[in-house]
């Protein structure tokens, strides 16, 4: 019985990973059709950018072409300011909103 439960949990994890990879590929294809290529920044690059910048809590931050919202979410989480991202790809916008909800950001 224990092995059966482990097998089901493993199947669920693998199915979720496959769905995420499929959504990633779908997002890249949609980016090609909108002629807005999405090249995501790495976490290291984002940390490097904001290492020397201090943003106050009452400031506003806007990222045009925000993609999946990595930079916007980083700024909102680490500086606590009002951060907004804008992108033409609706799949990336939806993904960014889901990530913001999972981090309990407004």
- Residue range 58-70: average pLDDT? 93
Q: Supply the pLDDT for residue 78.
A: 92
pLDDT at 4: 63
Convert the pLDDT of each residue in 2-49 to its tens digit. 666 766 666 666 566 666 666 666 666 666 677 777 778 899 999 999
Output b/e per residue, 39-64; b: 16+ Cβ within 10 A. eeeeeeebeeeeeeeebeeeeebebe
Q: How confident is the model at residue 66 (pLDDT cuts 50, 70, 90)?
A: very high
Q: Sign of the C-alpha dihedral, residues 89, 41, 65, 101?
A: positive
């Amino acid at each position: 019985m224990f092995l059966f439960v482990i097998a089901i949990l493993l199947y669920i994890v693998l199915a979720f990973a496959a769905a995420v990879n499929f959504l990633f590929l779908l997002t890249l294809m949609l980016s090609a059709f909108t002629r807005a290529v999405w090249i995501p920044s790495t976490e290291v690059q984002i940390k490097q950018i904001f290492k020397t910048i201090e943003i106050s809590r009452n400031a506003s931050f806007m990222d045009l072409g925000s993609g999946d919202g990595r930079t916007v979410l980083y700024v909102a989480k680490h500086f606590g300011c009002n951060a907004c991202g804008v992108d033409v790809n609706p799949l990336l916008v939806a993904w960014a909103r889901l990530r913001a909800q999972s981090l309990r950001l407004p």
